[in-house]
Structure 1
Amino acid sequence: MTFSLNTESESPARTTLHLHGRLDAQTFNDFDRAMLDVLPRVAEGGTVVLDLSALEYISSAGLRSIAMVRKSMRARGGNTLLLNPQPQVRKVFDIVKAVPLHEVFANATELDQYLDHMQRQITGAGPAGHA
């Protein structure tokens, strides 16, 4: 199986990327080239969400590519969050400790709760945006 990537911009500050197939030594260059185009369009302090629900396999080359995205976003005051990793992909992240567990989310609801909590901390608002 090959690799493909779909981009979904939800707002200027948050871009979601859907990874499909295998991110390995044969495909990481495709991902890296796509990031050269996508990352500059994410606002300073923005968030890149990598939806891994359709990613079936990741190698050390793929881990390196994701690490580069995380480094680039951190340098711009932003975040990189991982969503819906399949069990075999999550196990790779667990084994190599490549991504802090607080940046990996089992589903979109969990991710939205985290993002809501982070925004409320910044704005001082109560639950669901109420002060």
Structure 2
Amino acid sequence: MMSLKIEIETRQGGLYIVKLEGKLDTQTYKSCEDRLNALLGKAKVLMFDLAKLDYISSMGLRTILRIRKAMQTAGGNVMMSNVQPQIAKVFEIANALPDVPIFSSTKEADDYFDAMQRKVLEKRQPIL
């Protein structure tokens, strides 16, 4: 049986980094979906780190799309980082995530989040 390892890291501000390792397919999508559904209502941003995801099937793609839709409905967001070329090709062919930010690394995503938070804080500063 093909396996999928799921590691979820909690960050400040409702950011959850979801690291997927192995294969997201018809054998593994249900456990992934269950873990991700548990984050709905808590997460403001789900960042998928796909550095170690080797394979995704149509069911795996469907799982990510369903979670993305649920997150958007709840006012949240989904982002991707470290997407392997073969996985990026599946997303591209399916035109599945045209408006999802994709970062080359988790560090690039962290830098983006830091910059966005600084902008919000700067707007809150009283003008003297």
Normalising to structure 1: TM-score of the pair?
0.83
Residue type of the alignment partner of 2:67? V
Match of 1:111 in 2: 109
**2:36 counterpart of 1:30:** no
Q: Highest Rg: 1 or 2? A: 2
Q: Deviations over 1:101-126 (max 9, x none)?
A: 551111123212332444455x2739
Match of 1:18 in 2: 19
**RMSD (CA atoms):** 2.1
Determine the C-alpha separation between the residues in 1 that align with 2:72 and 2:100: 15
Match of 1:53 in 2: 51
Residue type of the alignment partner of 2:41? P
Indicate the larger mover: 98-107 or 84-93.
98-107
Structure 1: gaps spanning 5 or more residues? none
Residue type of the alignment partner of 1:106? S
Residues 37 and 67, structure 2, Cα contact 8 Å, conserved in 1: no
Match of 1:7 in 2: 8
Determine the C-alpha separation between the residues in 2 that align with 1:55 and 1:100: 20
Residue type of the alignment partner of 2:81? L
Summarize the alignment of residues 37-76 of structure 1 with structure 2, pairs less than 5 Å apart.
37-42=38-43, 46-76=44-74
SS in 2 for 1:41: coil
Determine the C-alpha separation between the residues in 1 that align with 2:99 and 2:39: 24
User: What count of residue pairs does the alignment treat as equivalent?
Assistant: 123
Residues 41 and 74, structure 2, Cα contact 8 Å, conserved in 1: no
Structure 2: gaps spanning 5 or more residues? none
Summarize the alignment of residues 82-121 of structure 1 with structure 2, pairs less than 5 Å apart.
82-100=80-98, 102-120=100-118
Determine the C-alpha separation between the residues in 2 that align with 1:39 and 1:48: 9
Shift of 1:60: 0.7
Shift of 1:100: 2.1
Residues 49 and 106, structure 2, Cα contact 8 Å, conserved in 1: no
